[in-house]
Amino acid sequence: SQQGEEDPQALSIQEGENATMNCSYKTSINNLQWYRQNSGRGLVHLILIRSNEREKHSGRLRVTLDTSKKSSSLLITASRAADTASYFCATDTSGYSTLTFGKGTMLLVSP
């Protein structure tokens, strides 16, 4: 079963614009993580937010978590063409850090 679901499925923007992706999940979590995947490559961890945190920043990334709504958002500010990739949210609900991934958002940033 899919725990996290990203929205939108695809997003196309211009360089310099902000990109916002949303993730909804179904059950209680230990933490929520965001990963990036460039075409044909492995996943790269971007940011982790724990269940007792509401907002976290890392460089141009801002993640929010609303456990009452079971949702998270990833904001990429001042997007660059190099940000073009698929972005996945993943929820950690076990004691062994097993992750349940959403289907991802494909982000296209045009120069």
Partner 1 sequence: DAGITQSPRHKVTETGTPVTLRCHQTENHRYMYWYRQDPGHGLRLIHYSYGVKDTDKGEVSDGYSVSRSKTEDFLLTLESATSSQTSVYFCAISGQSGNEQFFGPGTRLTVL
Give me the residues that bind partner 1 (CB under 8 A), please: 1-2, 30-31, 33, 35, 41-45, 48, 50, 88, 90, 92, 95-104
Is residue 22 within 8 A of residue 6, CB to CB? The reply is yes
CB of 47 to partner 1, least distance (A): 9
Q: Please identify, using beta-carbon distances, which residue of 42 and 111 lies nearer to partner 1.
A: 42
3-class DSSP state of 83: helix
CB of 15 to partner 1, least distance (A): 27
| Residue 58: exposure state from Cβ atoms within 10 A (0-12, 13-18, ≥19) | exposed
